[in-house]
Amino acid sequence: MIPPTCRDRVVAPSLLAADFSKIREETTRAIAAGADWLHLDVMDGHFVDNISFGPAVVQAVHETNDIFLDVHLMISRPDHFLPRFIAAGSDLITVHVEAEHDVADTLRRIREAGCRAGLALNPATPAEAALPYLDQIDLLLCMTVVPGFGGQAFMDEVLPKIETVARWRDERGLSYHIEVDGGIGAPTAARCAKAGANVMVAGSSTFSAPDMAAAVKAIRDA
């Protein structure tokens, strides 16, 4: 579920870092390790230079486990594929402001379908790109790596952007969650939380950890 306030910490392991040969077990492992959400990185090989998985995997996870599905669409035409990700059982769908679609219309359609709506900004995209949509979103994702691959280094230069969008939220009396994604482990989660983020996506630092529960807890407590 989406927590009551945007100050509640959420830990969302990214399935991209899981063993794809056993997705059901990996999802069960993440839930047992204390994950709040499961982050599903959908990549089309066009918006980003990698291809991961599509609605069929989202549906398989939805049918075999009970966890809030945080679906991150790194695809060029999120509007075109939206019905299939909604039907697959997504709980929250995040689309990129840089993709080729009518952003306001896509966000409106996500909410109309009963899903939560998220908007993502790549590291190079200024916070101002999100300004027209702040009252249409439940979550704002500030990418802390260039999207496409797990295991990259955290980009410090995104921290001021997190502070800006957190300030804008409070100034406007809005309540969107602020999510970070890419190079997140306990140390970087602490820095992002200090800047105003509350939803921590973590792939390699959780699924590849020797003790996943300890890794999830360390991010939660960071």
- Catalytic positions, written as ranges: 41, 181
Min dist CB 171 to Zn ion, Å, is 27
Residues 38-77 binding ligand DX5 (CB under 6 A) are: 39, 41, 72
Binding string to ligand DX5 for residues 152 to 171, with x set by CB under 6 A, is what? x-------------------
Min dist CB 19 to ligand DX5, Å, is 14
Min dist CB 100 to ligand DX5, Å, is 18
Which residue of the chain is nearest ligand DX5 when measured via CB?
203
Determine the Cα–Cα distance for residues 131 and 43; give it in Å rounded to an integer: 25
Q: Which residues contact 176 (CB under 8 A, 6 or more apart)?
A: 6, 134, 137, 138, 139, 140, 169
Candidates 33, 115, 162, 184: give the one binding ligand DX5 (CB under 6 A). Answer: 184
Partner whose binding site includes residue 198, from Zn ion, ligand DX5, none (CB under 5 to 8 Å by kind): none
Q: Which residues bind Zn ion (CB under 5 A)?
A: 41, 72, 181
Residues that bind ligand DX5 (CB under 6 A): 14, 16-17, 39, 41, 72, 145, 147-152, 181-184, 201-205
